[in-house]
Structure 1
Amino acid sequence: MSKGHYGVPLERSDCLELPLHPHSCTPESFQDWLENIGKGRRLAVDLFSGAGGLSAGVERAGWTTAAAVDTDERALETHRANFPGLGLQMDLGDPKERDRLEAILGPAEIDLVAGGPPCQPFSRAGRNKIRHLVKKHGRDPEDRRKELWSAYLDMVKRIRPRVVLMENVPDMGLHDDFFVIRTIEEELEELGYATQVRLVDAWNYGVPQHRKRLILLARRDVDDFTWREPAPRRTTLRDAIGDLPELKVVATERVGERKIDYRKPRKISDFAEEMRKGATRGVIWDHMTRRVRADDHRIFQVMDSTTKYSQLQEKLDGEERKYQRYSPDKYTDKYKKLAWDELSRTITAHIAKDGYWYIHPEQLRTLTVREAARVQTFPDRFRFAGTRSDAFRQIGNAVPPLLGEAAAEVLKPVDGSDATSGLQPRWREVRNALTDWAERRRAGSDWYQLPSEEPVPLHAAVVAILSGAKVRPDAMAEIMDIVRKSRTLTSTLFKKLVDAAPTKPARARVDRLTPLVDKPNAWRVDQRLKIPAKLSMKPAEEALYKLLIGEDLMLVGTGNLRVAARVNGVDEDHANRLSDGRVNLVKLVGAGNDAPLRMAAVRLIGADLCRDTQPVCSDCPLVAHCARRGELSDDLLTLAVTGE
């Protein structure tokens, strides 16, 4: 083998072929499987299953996997080896394949549908089209990845399980104002499901790494989602892999093997003890990783867990500085040595390309397949089909089983509950109350603070431009009365606005409307999205303007987050308030045509009623649903709820 410019001999690891699980089946034998292996069990289906991290989690929580579906042949080979039931290679983006899956699963009573569909963010411009696609189960020929969440939702509608578990990365929600998540919730609620969206730190449930995931849960038996208390202490990297055999590491030579002797230490962590359950006695599988280049070998020596790649020049001697092959300005964190007594960095699919983010704390190498699997909480008995790179990719793409277990536990059956009639979810009632209140306010003096059924860009622009000028409510009402009957900005109207501006800062803001004076075409509804740029609106002004013309977006201001936190019953100053705060807002705003109206209503409540101090709860439309209602006196609560 030649080293070439790679610095190590080029090699491809052996390709591991795994036997089928003894209780696996085919579509043809599925009926027989249901009558034997599946009889009397709570059955689950895992869509977009990958190697089966989520399947492992729901099985730990008491379900049996009846079927798993994915397009990745190697991941399915892994799933078929480690789980009973069906392993089906299907592209669920194809409606015909969904028809086929529905027919195969027809004889089964599926209790849980789980999965992690890819959820690409959508631009706001395409959201009406997306809503249509959801309703019609159609396909977007431009990018089929974007519709896989819709395919997942379609299968839930066809199967109608008692409970649903969906997992994905938080960015899926944050990048498009949780539009996809809000749409899924709305569709499920229409079917009688109660839903919960939650951002979960995986380490709270025993996963030894920094990993935040977005979990959507739904159920149609009870409107209750109670998670178990977080673990009292974090599982460290030492807890996770400290018992594994030390490997001999010589620069450029093979590191580890498929099968290595394992000797259980006298002192072993509870986590490692759990990972060894069911494993082959005296053996550790797949404890192998890439060869280490001579230059990397030296770099690994001089690093500690706090060293950034950009700091290596200070630690390498003269001639050794050439070992730093990547630009330290561009790749400040190219290498990361892990620390024994901390959490691991998040294991991602990138580990299949290189392991530089996962350098062992002591040994001069990157993590092995088995170590990566441990950090992802796959037990040692779990094997991964294919090459070493295939295994790393499957592990990096997986849901940690212990996280899947914690989420699935929330969905266990409740004695005496009824899943036949469906529910009227609490949050649907909350949003209905918010919508009714907003419509009444829109019909009165707050007409300009809420998106109208027929948007008038001029009205929205004036409100947005003046939003930061601290204009008194009565003065603002007078200004808006001036433009109420107008749809374009004439010179005469502009002069009236300037004269009506109550302060110098307000007049300065009105002056910013000058570029569109006497330009009627600029104010046409079909030109509305161009107005923020023409008026040089700041980001906050542009967001408010777009909301008031009916665009579906979330305003993450302090007042809005405060309203959402109080109604949800969480600490207003809790950590990660922007990401967690958005999740709280999701529950209030929801999806659908009235989502912008509700978002604007939350803004009004946050500004006028749900103040930081001395909130005016008696006038708040959400008081009957607010988690803080217990702080009100009985008389005030009666007044707030009944208005009498």
Structure 2
Amino acid sequence: MLEAGKNKETIVAAGGYGVPLRKSDRLQLPLNDDHCTIETFGDWLARHDGERLAVDLFTGAGGLSLGIQDAGWTIAAGVDFDERAVETHASNFPGLSLRLDLAEVEVRDHLVQVLSDAKIDLIAGGPPCQPFSRAGRNKIRDLVLNHGRDPDDLRKELWRAYLDIVTRVRPRAVLMENVPDMGLADDFAVIRILQDKLEKMGYATEVRLASASDFGVPQHRKRLILLARNDIDFFDWPDEKCPQPTLRDAIADLPGFNFGPRELIGDRELTYDESQDLSELAQEMRDGAEPGVVHDHMTRAVREDDYATFNRMTSTTLYSDLDESERRYRADSFTDKYKRLGYGDLSRTITAHIAKDGYWYIHPEEPRTLTVREAARVQTFPDRFRFAGTRSDAFRQIGNAVPPQLGRAAASALKPLESDDVPGVEPLWVQVREELAEWARANRDGEKWYSYPAPEMGPVQAAVVALLAGTRELDLASIAEFVRGWKRITPGRYLDLLHKAPTRSAYKRLGRLTQAIDVPGIWNVKRRAELARLLELAPAQEAVFTMLLGQDDLLVLNQATLRVAARVAGSESDRTNRQTTGRVDLSRLVGAEEDASLRLAAVQVIGRTLCTAEDPNCAECPLANVCREPQDGTDLRREAADGTLLSVL
């Protein structure tokens, strides 16, 4: 155990916090020996002729860059707007490290021009994404359609900037990483747009919600990974790590501390014992590090009351378990304000929040929060990797980073073929979605018109069908036919409709229409959101209502749609992970933009009438030839000797 460190820190305030607030020294890092500038980039390219070059956009400190580098690429350029992160990248990687605001079109033009002399094999990045809320999508669409707004004039949507650069550089492979909420919060609208654009450009794509711990990262952390390549259709991920490394494997070899409350903890440089019996992960983290030295093993001082509290906590102690005198925050609002990590478990997700408050990350044995080096280890940054700026700058960069070992696994799935015989990519899913839309158009002209967005499907018809969702098909068909052509519901029509209700349940559901009868203009499609509120539509009913009006890029997750998507994907997402993997599987079929609602309706019809739980009719299903789990024992995909997609329309 080491005595408390002597790192240079400046007291900036004391106040009522209980411990002096100290700002650490600012670490200034040297440039990488193979660093270059825009002016010398041509010479740098000449020195690296024949190597697989990668560009990392929105790179942060470079967790993804490191993973890509470990997977066999040479980093030609990293771009970010965070000054400290760019300094970190410039020290740890070769090539260009550029501080640019990619939201600006002129800046992207300049970057594309700089890269024009390079043969870029891979473009990677994690653009900060602002998922569309459903209300936000409707507002944007309305502004575009009715007020002449440029749909690309959305500065905060940096994924558009990312796609713009990919479109113009046209690398062989693409890797995009983000938090799962990017997809889950907006029904994968952004991801579906990206997939659709890339596939129409000739790329095969794959979306995966990956658990970092499956690939050697000792923490609970899920990331959304979008992969694309234009040489083959196959993505070969490396095997998952088994057993998964624990927090003990990651940090137990680092020096411990003897310290008291309010004392400084750790230092920029400490002695490291190289004679230990190290875990496989710790050995990897020490690779390339300065022998006998560990850097940046330091963290904040601890208040006296927290020092005592931390000593009494275990990894299972909840914040609400603490005595009221030990809590500075309401236990009902901050249920996990303090979290002591367990050596035998995975760490909780390291986030940028650690830069402001480390109490989510209390050391398993000592009464303190994790150090910079420990947080870096949990993210799988090796000890040789340093972070520019103050201690808080380092914590922020680490928390925002992609775990390098997860980045390595994702990049490995994009490795080029060793053979010169590259088969190329068949635009299979583009064709599948086009045929699915054609099948839907043909069917909506028949007796099941009420199941699809169509010229005849107005707010009246959509509201009635949504209210009766889940009723018998025969009853739904007869009532939909009864209201066909109605532009609004008058009191007389309302009474006639109630008389058509086949069951007490249907009568009760249709009774909600009375709330909209006397509201002027409510049956205008532009007031669909207000109408849905008036009718008190449940979330599932509102999803059907919106889908039938063709007004939104949403996904309707129910037994029918999930069953079809899971069978086509050959997964169990209709039974497990419905909200996550189920959305991924369904989004592949639905696609994006103009015909998304039409295809979604088609999937729902297929699930209700053809791809049923029992006795499915695969022979008439338009998806049978791409289904990985045909239900009638016949693999229709084999009917095409050359492997091309068969049409069953």
String of CA shifts for 1:554-600, please: whole Å, max 9, x gaps.
Answer: 11112211111110011246643211111111101110210001111
SS of the residue corresponding to residue 522 of structure 2 reads helix
Distance 1:521 1:131, change over 3 A: closer
| CA distance in structure 1 between the partners assigned to 2:25 and 2:383 by the alignment | 19
- Give the match for residue 318 of structure 1: none
1:208-247 residue pairs with structure 2 within 5 A?
A: 208-247=218-257
The question of 1:28 aligning with 2:76 is answered: no
CA-CA distance at 1:137 after TM superposition: 8.4
SS of the residue corresponding to residue 4 of structure 1 reads coil
String of CA shifts for 1:448-480, please: whole Å, max 9, x gaps.
Answer: 101114641111111011114x23x23322222
| CA distance in structure 2 between the partners assigned to 1:10 and 1:628 by the alignment | 60
Distance 1:556 1:573, change over 3 A: closer
2:403 to 385, 400, 403: 400
- Give the match for residue 369 of structure 1: 372
SS of the residue corresponding to residue 577 of structure 1 reads coil
1:450-529 residue pairs with structure 2 within 5 A?
A: 450-453=452-455, 455-468=457-470, 470-471=471-472, 473-517=473-517, 521-529=521-529
TM-align CA RMSD: 2.4
Distance 1:431 1:417, change over 3 A: farther
One-letter amino acid of the counterpart of residue 6, structure 1: Y
In the alignment, structure 1 segments of 5+ residues that lack a partner are 314-320
One-letter amino acid of the counterpart of residue 535, structure 2: L
Q: Contact (CA 8 Å) 2:78, 2:96: kept in 1 or not? A: yes
SS of the residue corresponding to residue 553 of structure 1 reads coil
Q: Contact (CA 8 Å) 1:488, 1:523: kept in 2 or not? A: yes
CA-CA distance at 1:422 after TM superposition: 6.5
String of CA shifts for 1:192-236, please: whole Å, max 9, x gaps.
Answer: 111111100000000000000000011111111121221111110
In the alignment, structure 2 segments of 5+ residues that lack a partner are 1-10
- Give the match for residue 339 of structure 2: 336
2:113 to 103, 108, 113: 103
One-letter amino acid of the counterpart of residue 29, structure 2: L
The question of 1:538 aligning with 2:531 is answered: no
The question of 1:174 aligning with 2:188 is answered: no
CA-CA distance at 1:10 after TM superposition: 2.8
Q: Contact (CA 8 Å) 1:556, 1:582: kept in 2 or not? A: yes
Q: Contact (CA 8 Å) 1:43, 1:66: kept in 2 or not? A: yes
Distance 1:453 1:56, change over 3 A: farther
CA-CA distance at 1:520 after TM superposition: 6.8
- Give the match for residue 351 of structure 2: 348
The question of 1:45 aligning with 2:55 is answered: yes
| CA distance in structure 2 between the partners assigned to 1:124 and 1:82 by the alignment | 40
Range with bigger deviation, 516-525 or 17-26: 516-525
The question of 1:93 aligning with 2:108 is answered: no
Going by fraction, where is helix more abundant, 1 or 2? 1
Distance 1:197 1:296, change over 3 A: same
- Give the match for residue 6 of structure 1: 17
SS of the residue corresponding to residue 606 of structure 1 reads helix
- Give the match for residue 427 of structure 1: 429
SS of the residue corresponding to residue 579 of structure 2 reads helix
| CA distance in structure 2 between the partners assigned to 1:617 and 1:593 by the alignment | 27
Distance 1:463 1:94, change over 3 A: same
1:617-636 residue pairs with structure 2 within 5 A?
A: 617-629=618-630, 632-633=633-634
- Give the match for residue 564 of structure 2: 563
Distance 1:360 1:591, change over 3 A: same
- Give the match for residue 84 of structure 2: 74
SS of the residue corresponding to residue 432 of structure 1 reads helix
String of CA shifts for 1:89-112, please: whole Å, max 9, x gaps.
Answer: 100000010011111111111000
One-letter amino acid of the counterpart of residue 55, structure 2: V
String of CA shifts for 1:101-147, please: whole Å, max 9, x gaps.
Answer: 111111111000000001101122145379999x978433xxx32x2
Distance 1:500 1:455, change over 3 A: closer
1:385 to 366, 384, 388: 388
The question of 1:602 aligning with 2:613 is answered: no
- Give the match for residue 125 of structure 1: 138
- Give the match for residue 266 of structure 1: 276
- Give the match for residue 322 of structure 1: 325
1:44-63 residue pairs with structure 2 within 5 A?
A: 44-63=54-73
Q: Contact (CA 8 Å) 2:626, 2:637: kept in 1 or not? A: no
Distance 1:185 1:361, change over 3 A: same
Q: Contact (CA 8 Å) 1:51, 1:75: kept in 2 or not? A: yes
SS of the residue corresponding to residue 296 of structure 2 reads strand
CA-CA distance at 1:429 after TM superposition: 2.2
One-letter amino acid of the counterpart of residue 137, structure 2: R
SS of the residue corresponding to residue 560 of structure 1 reads helix
| CA distance in structure 1 between the partners assigned to 2:22 and 2:199 by the alignment | 52
SS of the residue corresponding to residue 435 of structure 1 reads helix
- Give the match for residue 451 of structure 2: 449
SS of the residue corresponding to residue 522 of structure 1 reads coil
Range with bigger deviation, 101-110 or 50-59: 101-110
- Give the match for residue 588 of structure 1: 589
Distance 1:643 1:43, change over 3 A: closer
Q: Contact (CA 8 Å) 2:559, 2:574: kept in 1 or not? A: no
The question of 1:196 aligning with 2:206 is answered: yes
String of CA shifts for 1:481-522, please: whole Å, max 9, x gaps.
Answer: 222122222344333322222222222222222233476732
1:246-257 residue pairs with structure 2 within 5 A?
A: 246-257=256-267
One-letter amino acid of the counterpart of residue 139, structure 1: D
Q: Contact (CA 8 Å) 2:618, 2:631: kept in 1 or not? A: no
| CA distance in structure 2 between the partners assigned to 1:497 and 1:100 by the alignment | 63
SS of the residue corresponding to residue 593 of structure 1 reads helix
CA-CA distance at 1:88 after TM superposition: 0.5
- Give the match for residue 414 of structure 1: 417
String of CA shifts for 1:25-57, please: whole Å, max 9, x gaps.
Answer: 000000000001x21110000000000000000
Q: Contact (CA 8 Å) 2:456, 2:485: kept in 1 or not? A: no
SS of the residue corresponding to residue 118 of structure 2 reads coil
Distance 1:236 1:200, change over 3 A: same
CA-CA distance at 1:610 after TM superposition: 1.7
CA-CA distance at 1:331 after TM superposition: 1.5
| CA distance in structure 2 between the partners assigned to 1:390 and 1:454 by the alignment | 58
